[in-house]
Amino acid sequence: MSVKEFGQLAKSVEADAALRELLSPVNRWLNVLSVRNHSEHTLAAYFAGVNQLALYLRGKRLTWTRCDKRQLAQHISQRLDEDKLALASVQQELSAIRHFYSWLIEEGIARINPTTGYQLKRSPRPLPSIADVDLLTQLLEQEIPATPEQARLWLRDKAMFELLYSSGLRVGELVALDITDVDLADLRVRVTGKGNKTRLVPIGTKASDAISRYLPHRNLWVEGQDTALFISEKLGTRLSTRAVQQRLKVAAKRAGIAQNLYPHLLRHCFASHMLSGSGDLRAVQEMLGHSDISTTQIYTHVDIAKLTQVYDRAHPRASHAQSDSE
């Protein structure tokens, strides 16, 4: 081995050792979060964000305690300009770094959080897509398929779609439901949302009726002691989120709907239609399981946008093309 090759190998080993040292407290932090019942998805996202900063610090031969706001700004700039990450992805990484430094301070490892006061300029949040009531009626009230096999599947699918729209569930919350989570007598469902927080949400009578019609088939399909509410007919086990997405597209096509339908759209529709009918932002926030009411407020903008369209079409003085002679 040449002197040059030996030097390169030594640098590589040194770099790996430096990275292992940087990641040691990260792993301890993630273990703490795991004990606190954070989801695997959250832990993976946190690690990905903090690991990128660790790689940057290793390259600069810095430690966590020597990372200041200037170093953080350089790292974030690199992620945006060189790595071409979307602003939302960098925001997620910054959030992970902020939480990690808070833990370092709690543990007495660091004294300063470089993310304090550091903010990225947020891009305007896009308004969610909304389908009108007539289109949802077209989906949910379509004729039952002619073949027995497809008819059985439609009974299950309709129960899923009715529940998504009736109670504003996320698709992950829907497939996580156990049969004991649904109380058809009191018309409510117990939902486990983000951060393992549970909430009780009302169920509409149409959703309740659809679930009641589906349950006899579910009880025939289920394998072993699977507790899932929604079961794959083929496998007899809990349905996946991907399967729900695919079944919704099949149902939309069969109903002659050209608009792209996906499970989260039904949640958007629930929120928008509930706000339009009630105006009760706090109640809708509770039913959606939003920790921050600002997340729910986006649906008030959707409603205003719709009102503006109606106004522009209907009001005789709304047009910007009025002539001066008028």
Looking at residue 326, what is its pLDDT? Answer: 39
Amino acid code (one letter) for 89: S
Percent of the chain exceeding pLDDT 90 equals: 48
For residue 270, is pLDDT > 90? no
Catalytic residue among 190, 194, 199, 206: 194
- Clarify whether 170 is annotated catalytic: yes
**Angle at which helices 263-278 and 241-254 cross, to 10°:** 70
Catalytic residue among 238, 267, 268, 273: 267
Q: How many residues does the chain have?
A: 326
- Clarify whether 290 is annotated catalytic: yes
**Angle at which helices 133-140 and 263-278 cross, to 10°:** 130
CB atoms within 10 A of CB 110: 20
Amino acid code (one letter) for 238: R
User: Residue 202 carries which DSSP code?
Assistant: E
- Clarify whether 46 is annotated catalytic: no
C-alpha distances out from residue 157 to 145, 241, 251, Å: 12, 12, 8
Q: Which residues contact 324 (CB under 8 A, 6 or more apart)?
A: none
**Cα 118–121–122 angle (5° rounding)?**
120
Q: What are phi and psi of 231, to 5 degrees?
A: -115, 145
For residue 222, is pLDDT > 50? yes
Looking at residue 228, what is its pLDDT? Answer: 95
For residue 307, is pLDDT > 50? no
pTM: predicted TM-score of the whole model, two decimal places? 0.54
How many whole angstroms separate alpha carbon 105 and alpha carbon 306? 47
Confidence tier at 3 by pLDDT (50, 70, 90): very low
Looking at residue 82, what is its pLDDT? Answer: 86
Tokens of 145: 């398929």
CA atoms 167, 170, 175, 179: torsion sign: negative
Catalytic residue among 79, 156, 170, 238: 170
Tokens of 21: 């040292």
